[in-house]
Structure formats: structure tokens, C-alpha cells
Amino acid sequence: MPVRPRSPRFARSGSASSTAHGGDPHTSLLEVSESIAAHRDLKALFHDLAARLHRVVRYDFLTLMLYEPERRTMRLHILESALPIEVEAGVEFTVEESPAGWSFERQTPLVLANIENDPRFPRVFDMLRAHGVKSICSLPLTTAQRRIGTLGFGSSQANAYTGVDLKLLTQLARQVALAVDNGLNTESLESYQRQLAQERDRLRALLDITNALVSHLELDDLRSALGRALRRIVECDEAALAVFDEDAGALRVYAIPHRDGPLPPPTSVRPTEDPLGQAIAKRQTLRLDLTRADYAQSPLWSEGFRAMLRRSGSGDGAPNGCCLPLMGRSRLLGALLLGRAHGPALTQRDLDFLTQAAGQIAIAMENALQFRQIAALKEKLAEEKLYLEDEIRTEYNFEEIIGESAALKRVLRDVETVAPTDSTVLILGETGTGKELIARAIHNLSRRRERAFVKLNCAAIPTGLLESELFGHERGAFTGALTQKIGRFELASGGTLFLDEVGDIPLELQPKLLRVLQEQEFERLGGVRTIRTDVRLVAATNRNLAEMVQAGIFRSDLYYRLSVFPLTVPPLRERPEDIPLLVRYFAQKYARQMDRQIESIPTEVLQELIRYPWPGNVRELQNLIERAVILSPGPALRLPLSELRQPPLTPDPPAHPVTLQEAEREHILRALQQARWVIGGPSGAARLLGLKRTTLQSRMRKLGLVRP
């Protein structure tokens, strides 16, 4: 601050002497000693000395210059003046460019009677001459322990100090040196004590932060605890955690709240085009000047940060902040972002302490992320366990492919060709031909055979739940979603997903399926986090997808994506030479299960089976042989031939062209009428149609079929 003129107690005329006011110089020195003893604060001491020293020597201004050994400069510490000298406290001069430096280096007083034409020390003398100073006197301040600086007098009168008693002033300077040394030591001690107190408070806060953070294993709980703890470390208006997502190659930014309450959802930002994101990727600690457009406009800032920047003009100082990388044991986790709307910039000491806090935050965040991964893996393993247990309990239609026909061998050659690739396969064929078995063969011959083979019948799941089954859902995504659920695409990651009856996927769900096939990523229902997956898809249907595309009930782009490698499984009527092999296989299988002995199959039985058209294909044959084993009390297989002589379940030729839906409705209606509207059981319509009971019920609801 500029020094203002003080009270007129400083004499402006006459020569300086030990009897400036007619007092005894020894009495004056005694008063100086008393003043020194009465004051601990250096500025208060110097202010009191200024009032007493004019009894010893006349002056218009009095200065205390301290030596700074690191920079080899003389720094103006205190200035008491009756002149309007515009000099800021703290200004520095090199030793060579100031009279104080000359006196300090030589440890001898310097008295200049008139500096009007003195060419030395131009920077200092030009300033003094501009304020009417004519003569000066500089005295070194030295104690037995160290050299401190100089005590300087100035007067607007020439020759003000030519007759001064230098011996007396030297004694005065020694006393002042002791006082200044004592004051500097006191200030240093008090400053050190303040630093110790601050360090103690910060370390206590750091310990409290550590205790608070390590007790939270959920990232949302960690954010809330961090919001409360950060304000104890440093003043900040906004804070955020940027978490590096290696799979997505992006930073997920979580706002750290000021207070308890709902947590805002995270945002995802790719760091490559953002200077702040690049600094995080390079693991740089940055002190941020948020007046810089590239930093202030970073997409990493949340809406809270942007609102802070908009109101930053209401306070003192420019908006500023810092970016601290958060390092885990072996990788970059992300960064801690802090912002101030205004106020002083963060000091290096602040950054050093925040770096310590960032280390604790990184440990807590790594624990939370690992806990999330472990919880997800645990849930996934639990889902796989339940799924595999369900698979073990499932009675497969058959356990291996049986047959030697040319049509079947052609399909198996195609399976061997496509299995080693990761291409999508679409298996076509009538109901009961063994499309799932072909899908399992593709999986078992692929490089994914050590991972899960996950299946889903799209027609057996209600339309409203199919999206959740495929992609999973977050807790609270819809009514009844009490826990998080992992979908089949996530469950099958690394393995094969088999979607049976893919033609029954609703039109509104088909774009999401297309996206996961193209991008290998999706979001859970009700979630915002993008999940990467590595799935090989095998789909199957007994419907004509090309006709469905023409009818507008199936997306053409999804159809082309599914039919990269189509496989058509031949119906049983096109491979009659395989029927005897299948009959013997199923007869022995069910005989073992029922503890029966089936040793022979009559020739007429085999001939009847070969002549039958098998509208239900292998599934119908399997069920018929199971019933035959039940009805065979002896070693020969007895077959209910009357059932084979019934007319097949085929509709009459239509008198006019019908739609695919009309044909399906008529076919199911005939089966229901033949089964007397019994849906399940050995003689139910589901068995006649080769469908599961739940699948048939779903089709009936869709087609509006109700028992009369």
C-alpha cells in the first residue's frame, strides 16, 4: 500500500544530532530499550520506535530493509514517513543498486549529505529525489548470530546527517537490530506455530476423511461422504469425480454433492478432444485458471460447474480450480476436479495437501470400483449357476445328432465351416427339426466352447419382459424391479447366445437388438452406463422372415444382420433313411430310463414310421417312441399304429390367398379342435404342434383364440 503522510512529529529542519530536542542521548537510548522490551510485534515496535527516535536524530522518513539471502536482495519491510512516498511494502532492490545494500555488504554506516547529483544507485535515488529527499543515512543491523538488514533515515534537508554522532547511532542500531531479530524470531515462531496448527488440523481432517471413505464400498455412498469431507480440506464451490472407463475409452463424470440428497446421474465424455481430459490421461496435476476458454468450456464440467462460472463475476478474484489424477495400484482411475467461483488461486501447499487427500480418495474409489466389479461378477456367477442348474434339469430333445442322410450331412458340413468363425448364424427349419441342437453343435465346435451357451426362447417371454431378459435392468427401472438383473447378452459375454423363435421379437425392440449386434454394446433397462459385451449370436426360427420383412413386421436391416450365414435344417420327411436310426436310439434311451428291455422293432412298424409324413418332425417321433416304450410290456416295441393313420394336421387348401397370420391361426385352431381344446399333456394341442405349452398360450393370446 502507498505510505501516507504521518503526524508532524518528525522534524523537517535543522541538522540531526544527539540533542535534536535538547534531550540527553543516553536517556533517549534508554527509552528505545524500554520500547524494545515492551513490544513483541515488529510493526508495533517499529511504529513506537519512530516516535522515540526523532529525539535522537532528525528525519522525514525511516525505513527497515531486510536482507533476502536466497535472492541477494534488500526488501523494504517497514516504512514510516511524513512524506507522501508512493512505495509498496515488499519492494526489493539488489544489493548493488541500493545504498542499503552498500551499507549492509560493508557493515558500515553510509551518510550522504546531498544526493541531488549523485550518479550512484539511480533506481533508488530517482525515487527519493522525486519526493524531495536530499540526504540519507543507512546503518547496518547486525547481531552476534546474523546480519539482518539496515536501518535508514532520510531528510528533505541537505547535510542533515553530516554532524550526526555515528557512534551513538551505531549503538542505537545495535539495539534496534536486537529488537528486529527478536521480532523476526517471534514472527517466524508464530508463523511456524500457525503452520503446525494448520497441518495438525489438515492431518486430522485427512484421518477423518480416510475413516469416512474406506467405510463406503458403493460409489454413490462414496460420493456423498466425499462431498462432506472435501469442504474440510479446502474451500471449493464445485467438485466432481472423473472415473476412467477403459472398456468404453471414456471418462464418466460424477458430480460430488454439496449436501445430502438425490445424486445427479453421471455423464460420459471422451477425453481425446478435450485439453482437460488429455491432462487426466497424461496423469498431470494442474492448477486451473478457469478464465481460459479451453478449460472453462471443457465438457468434463457438470452443470453445477458451469453455473459456478456464470456467477463467478460476483466475487473477488478469477475463477480457478485444480485437477488431481487419482492413481490406483497399477492404473489410472480418473481425476478429482475442484472449482472456485472466485478467491485466491490454490497455493502449492494446498496442492500438496490435496495430493495426499487424492491418494486416500483413490484407494477408496478403487475399493468401490473393485467392490462393484466383484458384486457384478458374483451376481453373474449366481445367474450362471441358476442357469446351468436349469440347463442340467432340462430334458433335451436329444443328446447328439443322429442320422446319415445326405441332407443332414450337408447341414453338418456347413456347421463345421461356420463354427470356427464368430459370424452370426440363422438356423431355419420347421418346428421339431432340432435347431437348438445345431446351435449347440456350432458352439461346441467354436473357440467359445469353454464359455457359456445361453439360450432364450423369444416366444415364451411376455413382450413387456423380453427387453429385461435380453439386456437386464437396473433397480427401480420399472414397478417390481426391486434388484438389479443381468440380461442374457451380459451373461453370455465370451460365449454364445442362442435366440430361438427370433421372429417373435417385437418390432419396437428390434433396433436395440440390431445395435448390440453391430456395436457389441448396450444399456440395461433404466440404466445410463454403456456395457460392452463379446457375444456370438445364433438365431433360429420356423417362420419366413423374408415374408415378414415384406409385410413390415420385421426390420430388413436386422434380417440381413441375422442371416449372415443361414442354415436350413431339413424336415424329417426329407431324410427318411434316418428314421430307423432315430427309432432305435430313442427306444434304447427310454428303455433305460424306464428299466425296460426293448430288443427288437418289427419291420412293419419301421415301414409305417418311414411312410408317415411327420408334421412334428423329430420331436413328434421322439414323443411317439416314448409312448411306444410305455405301451411295450415285452422285448418287442409295440407302436400305436392307429395314431399314425390319422390325417396329418395340415389345413385344407385355401380357396383364396391368405396371410401368414391367418394361416398360422387356422393351423393352431385345427390342432386345438382335434385335442378338444386341451393345451398341455401327452394328447394336448401343444404336443401335436410341437410347441411348449407357454408358447402355444402366447400364440393364442396374440391371435385372439379363446375356447368357445
- Report how far Cα 382 is from the mean position of its chain's Cα atoms: 26
Nearest CA among 310, 343, 311 for reference residue 236: 343
Helix (H) or strand (E) holding 211: helix 166-214
* 440-443 own/partner pairs: CB under 8 Å, 24+ apart: 440/498, 441/401, 441/412, 441/415, 442/415, 442/418, 442/496, 442/538, 443/419, 443/495, 443/496, 443/498, 443/536, 443/538
Sign of CA dihedral 2, 4, 5, 7: negative
Residue 563 phi/psi, 5° resolution?
Answer: -95, 40
**Burial category of 598 from C-beta neighbours within 10 Å (exposed 0-12, middle 13-18, buried 19 and up):** buried
The 10s digit of each residue's pLDDT in 376-427 is 777 767 666 665 555 544 433 334 688 888 889 899 999 999 999 999 999 9
Q: Is residue 328 within 8 Å of residue 231, measured between CB atoms?
A: no
Q: Is residue 538 within 8 Å of residue 442, measured between CB atoms?
A: yes
Q: Is residue 120 within 8 Å of residue 154, measured between CB atoms?
A: no
Matching CATH number, 215-372, of 3.30.457.10, 3.30.450.40, 3.40.50.300, 3.90.550.10: 3.30.450.40
The 10s digit of each residue's pLDDT in 340-388 is 877 777 778 778 878 877 777 787 777 777 777 777 777 767 666 665 5
Q: Is residue 44 within 8 Å of residue 118, measured between CB atoms?
A: no
Residue ranges of the domains in the chain?
Answer: 25-188, 215-372, 395-564, 571-643, 649-708
Q: What is the pLDDT of residue 427?
A: 95
Report strand pairing: 496-500 vs 536-541: parallel
Cα separation values, 394 from 176, 434, 650, Å: 100, 15, 30
Residue 62 phi/psi, 5° resolution?
Answer: -135, 130
Q: What is the pLDDT of residue 216?
A: 64
Q: What is the pLDDT of residue 28?
A: 65
Cα separation values, 35 from 42, 52, 64, 106, 300, Å: 11, 8, 17, 29, 59
The grid coordinates listed for 6 are 504521518
Cα–Cα distance between 333 and 243 in angstroms, integer?
Answer: 6
Q: Is residue 153 within 8 Å of residue 56, measured between CB atoms?
A: no
Cα–Cα distance between 16 and 25 in angstroms, integer?
Answer: 12
- 245 pairs with which residues across the strands? 250
Q: Which residues contact 160 (CB under 8 A, 6 or more apart)?
A: 15, 16, 58, 59, 113, 134, 135, 137
Q: Is residue 152 within 8 Å of residue 65, measured between CB atoms?
A: yes
- 79 pairs with which residues across the strands? 63
Q: Is residue 626 within 8 Å of residue 586, measured between CB atoms?
A: yes
> What topology is assigned to 395-564 in CATH?
Rossmann fold (3.40.50)
The grid coordinates listed for 193 are 506455530
The grid coordinates listed for 201 are 488440523
Q: Which residues contact 409 (CB under 8 A, 6 or more apart)?
A: none
Nearest CA among 534, 514, 512 for reference residue 523: 512
Please report, as a single letter, which amino acid is at residue 380.
Answer: K
Nearest CA among 360, 361, 325, 319 for reference residue 341: 319
Cα–Cα distance between 69 and 585 in angstroms, integer?
Answer: 101
CA angle, 288 then 293 then 298, to 5°: 75
Cα–Cα distance between 48 and 451 in angstroms, integer?
Answer: 87
CA contacts within 13 A on the Cβ side of 159:
3
CA contacts within 13 A on the Cβ side of 471:
27
The 10 Å Cβ neighbour count of residue 145 is 8
Write the class of the CATH domain 571-643. Answer: mainly alpha
Nearest CA among 393, 532, 533, 518 for reference residue 451: 533
Q: Is residue 309 within 8 Å of residue 296, measured between CB atoms?
A: yes
Q: What is the pLDDT of residue 346?
A: 78
Q: What is the pLDDT of residue 23?
A: 53
Report strand pairing: 250-255 vs 238-245: antiparallel
Nearest CA among 325, 344, 353, 336 for reference residue 205: 353
The grid coordinates listed for 427 are 438356423
Gyration radius of the chain over CA positions:
46
Q: What is the pLDDT of residue 83?
A: 77
> What topology is assigned to 649-708 in CATH?
Arc Repressor Mutant, subunit A (1.10.10)
Write the class of the CATH domain 25-188. Answer: alpha beta
At residue 325, the 3 state secondary structure works out as: strand
The grid coordinates listed for 81 are 514517513
Cα separation values, 314 from 238, 308, 343, 511, Å: 16, 10, 11, 49
At residue 393, the 3 state secondary structure works out as: helix
**Burial category of 364 from C-beta neighbours within 10 Å (exposed 0-12, middle 13-18, buried 19 and up):** buried
CA angle, 364 then 369 then 371, to 5°: 90
Below-70 pLDDT ranges, the chain: 1-26, 28-29, 32-40, 202, 205-206, 208-209, 212-219, 231-233, 247-248, 258-263, 271-273, 296, 302-304, 306, 309-317, 380, 382-400, 642-658, 708
The 10s digit of each residue's pLDDT in 103-140 is 999 999 999 999 998 998 999 998 888 888 999 999 99
Q: What is the pLDDT of residue 259?
A: 65
| DSSP for residue 150 | E
